Amino acid sequence: MLSLLSSLLSLLFVFLISCCIITNHFSFRPLSLLKLLGVIKFTASRDDDDHYKRDEGTYVVGEEELQRELMPRHVAVIMDGNRRWAKREGLLTSQGHEAGAKRLIEFSELCFKLGIHTVSAFAFSTENWGRHKIEVKCLMSLIQHYLKSKIQYFQREETRVSIIGNLTKIPESLRQTIHEIEEATKGYKKKHLILAIDYSGRLDILRACKSIVHKSETGLIREEDVDEAMIERELLTNCTEFSSPDLLIRTSGEQRISNFFLWQLAYTELFFSPVHWPDFDKGKLVEALVSYQRRERRFGCRV
Amino acid sequence: MDLNQSMRLLSSWIAQIGGLGLDLLWRFIHLVVSLWYIVSGIIEAVESYAISLGLNKKYSSINIEKLRCLAVVVDIEEARDVSKVIELLQWLRTIGVKQVGLFDSQGLLKKSKDLILGTVPGSVLSEEIGEKDSSPEQNPLALEFISSSDNKEAVMKAANILLQDYLKSSRPENDKGENFFTETHLNEALRVVGENVHAPDLLLVYGPIRSHLGFPAWRLRYTEIVHMGSLNYMRYGSLLKAIHKFTGVHQNYGT
């Protein structure tokens, strides 16, 4: 009786799969399973924190399976929506940014647990200097506070921290803290957190050109030696082995890259999430990773 | 012993029934999710056809003036079917788009340039706009054909030009090029190399993955990027919806 019921359900399942294949003709975007299954937990043996290795090759987080070999090596994130989140919650802008900072720590922790090597975050853009002075001051203080208070945490987690950007305009105290944390964590190789502060993609490219000019003046290179690889080596992302992100996540529903990693994002999978950054939790990250693992990336070549 | 055996048998049955129950629950969940997926897909398709037929008044008038330059990225596999690209361009002309940049990483569309220009009515190369005294078309569709060689390779060539100019120029000894290597200078150098530096307002990506596939990076600073799915299954309604959504976007530009 039970096996008959099970067989009927399986047949129904096959029928539905056929319907799904037919409706694929209409080129639907697949509905995220996690949105509907968010409150339903499949009972299975699990470790703490609801994620574990099912076998050597996969991670199971909630209801989704992530393949270890398909995990991106470098995930970049544009942390958009702190102010809108704060407004929605009836909080101050500074509290929104603080929630965003906490979210970044959790996000990077989870990424590293899932085997991602490099996480880079767009913390402050060159254009952000145009914001209200008090907000800018608050942001600089927040960044300094978090970097200073987390030095031991990053050492314990063996995570290398690098800060990239035009650091000439930031407060001296923050610059010292940056130097401190970079020195304290420079020896770690397995996990790398990159914070982009006062960063502009265009200025990064220009800076690379200037660096090449200085090298040519000292006779280290000739004019004809300048090629794409050389420019790439001079970009600020040369601090990591994987300078081009495999996946870029931008929150708050905005669908643009806003002058972040312009050169590096040529073949990066772009994932635009409608939620604000402080709300971008584990489920949303898994959604992004599942979406990434389902794509077939050809890097411009025919496979 | 009998009691132990009975207990073992009972717990074995309970485990099997429990496992089957969970299995059935899981299949039921899949059923619900699949039904939801199908229904939402049908709704989306119906909405798209309604937009195409002009039944949805929200999309009947679009402030197309806000969209000065549109770029379309096509996956190389899909770029082989030029007829689809031509159909897309005809739709864009109908909507009122005036300037379109077509990109595929390997330059397949560049090779089909003559066919596209000959087939899409009112289309001209964007370089030719303004060169002719009077265009036979009142509202020509300016087309630009772009490939990967216009991305990093172009920046590399422009960087070489800047390098040569800098080395040849007479400058103070302690000049580190701060006033020489600016965005304006690189823009100029890119123009010398023959590149268009005009940034598209909206980038539509047609292909299996959400990536701009190497579209000229220098131009993408504030461009809205929308993934449209496969070119083979493109719909006029979806195109109109994407453009309409863009016209409602407000950018802070970081401030």
B75 Cβ contact partners less than 8 Å away, ≥ 6 residues apart: A298, B104, B206, B207, B208, B209, B213, B231
Helices (H) and strands (E) in chain B, counts: 8, 6
Chain B CB contacts of A210 under 8 Å are 176-177, 181
**Are B91 and B163 found together in one domain?**
yes
Domain hosting residue B47, numbered range: 1-60
Catalytic, A246? Answer no
> Which range has the worst mean pLDDT, A52-61, A117-126, B235-244?
A52-61
Overall number of domains in chain B:
2
pLDDT digits (tens, 9 = 90+) for A140-149: 999 999 999 9
**Are B109 and B159 found together in one domain?**
yes
CA distance A213 to B86: 44
Task: Give the model's pLDDT for residue B99.
Answer: 93
The model's pTM: 0.79
Q: Do A270 and B160 touch (CB under 8 A)?
A: no
**Are B34 and B137 found together in one domain?**
no
Instruction: List per-residue pLDDT tens for chain B, 255 residues long.
Output: 578 888 888 888 888 888 888 888 888 888 888 888 788 888 888 888 888 777 777 777 778 888 999 999 999 998 998 999 999 999 999 999 999 999 999 999 999 999 999 999 889 888 877 555 445 556 789 999 999 888 888 888 888 888 888 878 766 666 656 677 888 888 888 988 888 888 999 999 999 888 999 999 899 999 999 999 999 889 899 999 999 999 988 887 878
The two three-digit tokens of residue A223, written as one number:
């004019």
Task: Give the model's pLDDT for residue A112.
Answer: 96
Q: Which residue has the higher pLDDT, B31 or A26?
A: B31
The verdict on residue B140 lying in a domain is yes
CA distance A257 to B68: 19
The verdict on residue B252 lying in a domain is no
Map tokens 């200025």 to a residue: A203
Task: Give the model's pLDDT for residue B131.
Answer: 54
**Are B232 and B115 found together in one domain?**
yes
The verdict on residue B253 lying in a domain is no
Ranges of H-type helices in chain A: 2-23, 33-37, 82-89, 93-113, 133-149, 151-156, 172-185, 201-217, 228-234, 282-294
Compute the nearest-CA separation of A188 from chain B (Å).
31
Chain B CB contacts of A246 under 8 Å are none
pLDDT at A267 over 60: yes
**Contact in structure between B212 and A265 (CB atoms under 8 Å):** yes
Q: Do A202 and B183 touch (CB under 8 A)?
A: yes
Chain pair A-B, CB pairs under 8 angstroms: 201
**Are B80 and B31 found together in one domain?**
no
Q: Do A216 and B167 touch (CB under 8 A)?
A: yes
**Contact in structure between A293 and A61 (CB atoms under 8 Å):** no
> Which range has the worst mean pLDDT, A38-42, A64-68, B45-49, B128-132?
A38-42
> Is the ipTM of this structure higher than 0.95?
no
Task: Give the model's pLDDT for residue B42.
Answer: 85
B163 Cβ contact partners less than 8 Å away, ≥ 6 residues apart: A209, A212, A213, A216, A223, A226
The verdict on residue B198 lying in a domain is yes
CATH code at position B91:
3.40.1180.10
Residue of chain A nearest B164, judged by CA positions: A223
**Are B54 and B114 found together in one domain?**
no
Task: Please tell me which of the candidates B45, B151, B226 has its beta carbon nearest to residue A26.
Answer: B45
